[in-house]
Structures are given as structure tokens and as C-alpha cells.
Amino acid sequence: MDIFEVCFRLIEKKMGRANFTTWVNSDFIHLSDDIFRKTKVKISSGTLKRIFGKVKTAEGYRPQLATLNALAEYLDVENWKEFVNQHSTEQTKIEQTQQIPIEQTIQKPRRKTHYWLLFLLIGISIPTALVGLKQLKSKELAILTLKNNTDTTPFTAIFNYDVKNLNADSVFISFRTYDKVLINSCNTQITHFYDVPGIYKAKIIANGEQVSKPLQVIVKTRDWQSIGRYWNDAKRSYDVPMNLVVDSGIWHTTSQIVSQCKMDTSRIYAVELSNIQPFGVVADNLIFETKIKNTDPITSVRCEQVFFDIFGKNGRISFQFANKGCGHWMWLEMGEIEIDGAFRDLSQFEQTLDDWSIIRVENINKKVRINFNGITIYTSSYNRTLGEFYGVKILFLGNGYIDYIDVRDVKNRIILNHDFGK
């Protein structure tokens, strides 16, 4: 399977429409609309049909790089070059995991289609030195600065930008992974409202490529803070007062409590507990432990996920647990390492959380061990320091229980602790 068939298969999966060779015009119209909603880049259904080999094309036809960048972004990858880098080594595994053999379901693209594919791959693989020069030049053409990069939530960040010398069809500022705004060269300032605690990267994106240095935005809490929000909706969050969710030494949310906070419990929602602030110690040497359970799942959600973030100023350790069969949706991050459950086996994080469970993370000199109820389920190491420890976050898709949270250094000295009044 070549890299473009990998792309087509992933789009199939994302859309929930198998075997693109049987797609009709309405499928490509739907995909065009879906890509625009996600990326704000319009690719016509006719162009998509040419890319997918459904329409006869001229011998030299090849899509623009901006179009391929939009396809990559639709699949949650920053640009086409990064998509090639990420997935070229995964092709064998994807091929093995297809439910129906590829050769029985796909008519291989005509030979002439492969000419532009080969041409594009060669173009992407230009010498590293030239790529570096091109990126440097692009970064000089787009300038992004931040007046105030850290404050407590809620927080309005003020950005200044200059893109007047940038030659691009579409330019965005990405404020965080799932939140970006189209900008133009006539303006030079924009603000963004951050109401969910965390550490984010803001950057300018032009034709799917990052063209500015990323700016760090730190959204802190004053102490422990609970927030509710709708799933996959970054537009609004809801304060969940601690006096509502702490009872008898346990942090616990219910649909009744969430409803009291003016949230619509008929929608899929998430509730998180976080404490984000500088703690004056390095995050590369600490031990995190918590005791949780999730016995009140949302009935409309098949994968009952719980997310964990241990923040450093320069990076984080991030992982999640979910019920059996949901490993595909897992995501693991530590320092520079990022692992997607769609392409790697993370089934060890498929765990039942109906009963109280102890989650423990030992990070000793950038060597990480994750334990579930006393059993080591994952070990790895990273190279890039996480920097100063900036707190933790636990997020439940739906409702959950927390008995305690404890963070200590390697000498067993308490850095951060909450036992909810026991």
C-alpha cells in the first residue's frame, strides 16, 4: 500500500464510509464539506475525485501542496510532509489490520496516476539543507508576538502579528490544537479567550505549514479547580464549584451536579480537575499517584475515557485509560515522544475502572514507568526535558471519582497533594 492509499483509507475510516472505490458524487461532496469544517480550506468535490482517481486526469496532473496539506490536517496531522514522515513506516501494520484485504477491495491506481504521486514524493524529499532554508525564510515572513503569555483562568491573551509579506491563500492563527482563526494582512492584532487551564502553543499556519515560531501560553489555576465542558467543543467551559463536587473526602461528579452548573446533560460532556501553576521543581524526577474510579458513565458513550496530564513548562506526560476495545482512541505523550493508538498497540491502557484503581507514574531521570493497580503496564524514556513542574490534570469523559492525588519527588517529599478533606 503506498502513502496515498494510506491517506485514502484513513479518510474512509474518519468518514465512516468504507471502500472509496465505490463512492459516488454525494460522498465526495460530503468529504469536501467535512474538510472545510475542519480546516477552513475548500477542496471541491471535483478535485477530490481527481485525487482519489475517480476522474480521468491529464498525464501531468498533480494536486497542489496546499490541497495535500489540508488532507493531512483533516486527519489531525500538521501538514503533508509530516503525514508522509509519520505514516510511511506504518503501512505494513495498517495493511495487516484491514478487515478486508486491500487487493480484493481496491483497484490499483492507473500507472499514469503514479507519475504525479512519484513527482510529489520526490519534491517532498528535497535536501534537508534546502528545506531548512525555506522554513527559515517562511518564518521570517510571519511574525507572532504575545503581550501576556501567562495568567490565571479566565485569561484573554493579546497577540500581535505581521503577515503582510506572506504569500499564501489562507493564513490562520492556531491558538491550541483544536482552535484556530482565519486572519488577514490588514489587521495586526487579535485576542483569544483561554478559559480551560493548561499549557498551549500558538502559531501561524499558512497553506497548512507552520510559518512562525510557536508561542507558549500558560493558563494557570489559583488552586485546585473543577471545570465542565462539552466534548470536542472549545468555545465555552463551565465552572464546577469545589463545594459541589467534594463530599466525605471524595471528589465526585454526577449529572445532577453538572446540571446545576447550567450544562445540558443530554450532550456528551467532560469534567476535569486541575492544579496548574509553577512548583519550583523539575518535572523529570517525580512520582505521581492517584486513586480513581468511573462507575457513572454517559450512556451514549461507548468508550469511557479518563485522561491524565502531568505538566512541565516545556512538555508533558499525557495518557489515558478506557474500557476494553477502545485502544484505537488512545494517545500517549512524554517529552518529544507521541504515540497514536490508531497506529500503535496501546491495548494495555484498556482497563476497567468500575472499582477503585490506583494509577502511579514514576518518572526517574526521564525514564517513565506507568503502573495500574501495582502492575507495570508501560515503560519508556524520553530525551527532551519537561522543564519545571507545572501541575496535573485529570479529565473524565462523563462523571468520575477521585480519592486522592499525590505528587512527590524521588526523596518522597510532597510537591502537590489533595486528599479532599480526609
One-character DSSP codes across 185-199? TT--EEEEEE-S-EE
Q: Is the confidence at residue 314, as pLDDT, over 70? A: yes
Specify whether the CB–CB gap between 202 and 159 falls below 8 A. Answer: yes
The reply to whether 299 and 245 lie within a common domain is yes
The reply to whether 390 and 251 lie within a common domain is yes
In the three-class reduction of DSSP (H, G, I as helix; E, B as strand; rest coil), residue 208 is classed as: coil
For residue 146, how many other CB atoms are within 10 A of its CB?
16
pLDDT given at position 347: 95
Nearby residues of 415 by Cβ (< 8 Å), 6 or more positions away: 279, 281, 286, 389, 407, 408, 409
pLDDT given at position 60: 56
pLDDT given at position 297: 67
Number of domains in the chain: 3
| Full residue range of the structural domain in which residue 369 is found | 221-418
Q: Is the confidence at residue 133, as pLDDT, over 50? A: no
The reply to whether 83 and 146 lie within a common domain is no
Question: Residue 155 is part of a domain; what is its CATH number?
Answer: 2.60.40.10
The reply to whether 267 and 398 lie within a common domain is yes
Q: Which helix or strand (DSSP H or E) is residue 38 part of?
A: helix 25-39
The string of pLDDT tens digits covering residues 56-113 is: 776 656 788 888 888 988 898 888 888 888 876 544 444 434 433 333 333 334 444 4
Nearby residues of 273 by Cβ (< 8 Å), 6 or more positions away: 224, 225, 226, 251, 393, 394, 395, 402, 405
The string of pLDDT tens digits covering residues 317-352 is: 999 999 999 999 899 999 999 898 888 999 999 998
Please state, for a pLDDT cut of 70, what percent of the chain lies above it.
84
C-alpha 233/C-alpha 15 separation (Å) is 19
The string of pLDDT tens digits covering residues 391-414 is: 999 999 989 999 999 999 999 999
| Torsions phi, psi for 150 (to 5 deg) | -150, 140
pLDDT given at position 108: 38
Range list of β-strands (E), 76-223: 143-146, 150-152, 155-162, 171-176, 179-183, 189-194, 198-206, 209-210, 215-220
The reply to whether 254 and 393 lie within a common domain is yes
Which of the listed residues 162, 189, 219 is the one where a domain comes to its end?
219
C-alpha cell at 136: 527559515
Which of the listed residues 219, 252, 275 is the one where a domain comes to its end?
219
The reply to whether 283 and 391 lie within a common domain is yes
The reply to whether 213 and 229 lie within a common domain is no
Q: Is the confidence at residue 138, as pLDDT, over 70? A: no
Compare 110 and 284 and report the one with higher pLDDT: 284
Q: Which helix or strand (DSSP H or E) is residue 36 part of?
A: helix 25-39
The reply to whether 215 and 240 lie within a common domain is no
The reply to whether 267 and 410 lie within a common domain is yes
Q: Is the confidence at residue 129, as pLDDT, over 50? A: no
The reply to whether 305 and 333 lie within a common domain is yes
Torsional sign, CA 131, 132, 134, 139 = positive
The reply to whether 200 and 294 lie within a common domain is no
The reply to whether 240 and 270 lie within a common domain is yes
Q: How far is CA 107 from the centre of its chain?
A: 33
pLDDT given at position 127: 46
pTM for the structure as a whole = 0.68
pLDDT given at position 96: 38
Compare 177 and 95 and report the one with higher pLDDT: 177
Local confidence band at 131 (pLDDT 50, 70, 90 cut-offs): very low
